[in-house]
Amino acid sequence: MRAMATHGPLHRAGDAHFRSLIRIAGIAGVVVSFQICGWLGIRINTSPSLPLGLYIATSDHVDGLVEFCPSEPFASIALSRGYRDRGSCPDGGAPLLKPIIARRGDVVEFSAKGISVNGKLLPNTQPLVKDTKGRWLRPWPFGSYVVQPDSVWVGSSYNRRSFDSRYFGPVSTGSIRAHLRPLLTLW
């Protein structure tokens, strides 16, 4: 009896088809996972502005992390330069996840040294003049600001390259979609 060849052209075509199905199933699994996380209020952070990990949306305004859609023209700048991915904000970009560094009544001093809140300089908040691709960055005007009742300042001490209030100033509390609490992070 002759043994059948298992590595002929038809078998290889079947392997390629099977690998394609596996890839499609994997992509579908990722999409479904993101949808389920969204329904459960879980946010996945892969940006360096916060520790890598999972965060859960809360209604507790005491939580010091927020998800928000930036205002124009900063939203378009961040999207066109690749600082944000595509997402669910009105401009078609993804919301930003950032720590709140100053709230109502706090005094923010912004200078070339960085952001000071109530006299304390925050690490890694010095404004940069260029981004990683050599494009000019325009910092928010240097000066002293008292945070108004309808706004917060956001900034990352995790990443000196964070696109945050250094470049777009205070964030309207009306643009905050959720307050966040770490669920599982790597840092």
Edge to edge, the sheet with strand 65-68 lists 42-45, 53-58, 176-185, 65-68, 96-102, 151-154, 171-172
Note the pLDDT tens digit of each residue in 107-124.
999 999 999 999 999 999
Note the pLDDT tens digit of each residue in 118-172.
999 999 999 999 999 999 999 999 999 999 999 999 999 888 999 999 999 999 9
Tell me the pTM: 0.77
Q: Which of 60 and 140 is assigned the larger pLDDT? A: 140
Contact 122, 114 (CB under 8 A): yes
Nearest by Cα to 83 from 74, 91, 173: 74
Residue 31 — very low, low, confident or very high, per pLDDT cuts 50/70/90?
A: very low
- Whole-number Å distance between alpha carbons of 69 and 106: 22
- List the chain domain ranges: 38-185
The runs of H, that is alpha helices, within 41-100 are: 74-80
Topology classification of domain 38-185: Umud Fragment, subunit A (2.10.109)
